[in-house]
A = this chain, B = another copy of it.
Amino acid sequence: MPESFAPPARTLMGPGPSPVSPDVLAALARPTIGHLDPAFVDLMDETKGLLQETFLTQNRLTMPVSGPGTAGMEACVDNLVEPGTTVVVCRNGVFGDRLRQMVERAGGVAVVVDAEWGRAVPPETLADALVEHPEAEVVAFVHAETSTGALSDAETLARIARDHGCLVVADTVTSLGGVPVRVDDWGLDAVYSGTQKCLAAPPGLSPVTFSDRALERMDARETPVQSWFLDVSLVARYWNADGAKRAYHHTAPVNMIYALHEALRRLQGEGLEAAWARHRRMHRALAAGLDALGLAFVVPEAERLPQLNAVWIPDGVDDAATRRRLLDEHGLEIGGGLGDLAGRAWRIGLMGEGARPGPVLACLGALEAVLDRSGGVEAAEPLLDAVAA
């Protein structure tokens, strides 16, 4: 019989999950109640409202999908794509390629716009692809590529897509809560995120939001959505209905929704603008420290995501052994590279509760010790002075 699990002490500065605050963990552990209990239904409504405020949208259909970000991604693709639908997919990292795979599994035709890994998607390449493919009905892109730390210009990409009459699918898994995401202003139609990044809740849910244009497209489908679990027209009868019309679809992950509700309350309490500014400030301090340690960023400064810092692994440094020492000797988790960057880069997250002075200094101090270099903490400290812990 295994022992009860006691997790080791960790500072989570990888690509997610990010550290979860004691308040959110306490909410997670409140007694489970029924998923159709009137008190839980009220909580669902509040959670929906908090998600609307976080996505900056009035979309009626805004809710957490009962699965990780990958499930939210599949919900957005599967509900908008029918066999034969042409989707232009921008690919500048692992998650763009995942979008392509999902489009193809849904029977769609994926037109891939390839961009360099570690760079934003150049808007002109999307515009060119749409001129070349007037049959395209949907454009999909990753706002913040978790595999490289590159931030694309979602507003411009979305405008180009809409100018060509396309619906817009946007991956905001790593961006939401950390940098501006303006669903309504930018005209995004199907947007998914994750709870375990800048929203600072445990992993397991995927907030999504669908515009009325997306709902019209779903209503006009000629074929059923291939997934019953992720069929938004069915899920909406549970999440988007009033009173007696609310219909059972599946048993909601009750305690995870307690945690998400609490994490969203905290975020709104701080204010979205303040949270974005905090992620930027912590990034500037971390970047100064990494620079002093001689660690070079993968992504050019103007395209860099504050909350995910990909740096090249220095020559002669063993990737796995170094990360293992950071974990074992300093309790620090940073991420390895993914896809093309595996073994070549590290990914240092500054997400949610990780974007605080304490974790920034702990991370730089641990890197100094393990890489036997100095000056990182010293370079970062002055930039943290003005910031509350």
Contacts and interface: CB of A to CB of B under 8 A. Distances in A.
A1 to B, nearest CB: 6
Interface of A: 1-2, 4-10, 12, 14, 16-17, 19-20, 23, 25-35, 37-40, 43, 46, 49-50, 66-71, 73-74, 98, 101-102, 105-106, 194, 196, 202-204, 224-229, 248-256, 258-259, 261-262, 265, 268-269, 327, 333, 338
* Number of chain copies forming the complex: 2
Cβ-closest 3 pairs across A and B: A204-B253, A29-B29, A70-B250
Given A17-B35, A32-B196, A37-B333, 14 more contacts: A5-B262, A7-B40, A12-B34, A14-B34, A16-B251, A28-B28, A32-B202, A68-B253, A70-B228, A98-B228, A106-B226, A203-B255, A204-B256, A226-B227
B105 A74 contact: no
Contact of A262 (B4, B69, B101): B4
Nearest to A53: B1
14 contacts: A5-B46, A10-B33, A17-B34, A19-B31, A20-B31, A25-B29, A25-B30, A32-B203, A68-B251, A70-B229, A71-B71, A102-B228, A105-B224, A202-B255
B5 A31 contact: no
B2 A46 contact: yes
A49 to B, nearest CB: 8
B327 A251 contact: no
A299 to B, nearest CB: 20
Contact of A74 (B32, B228, B327): B228
Contact of A7 (B6, B39, B70, B226): B39
B8 A39 contact: yes
A203 B69 CA distance: 18
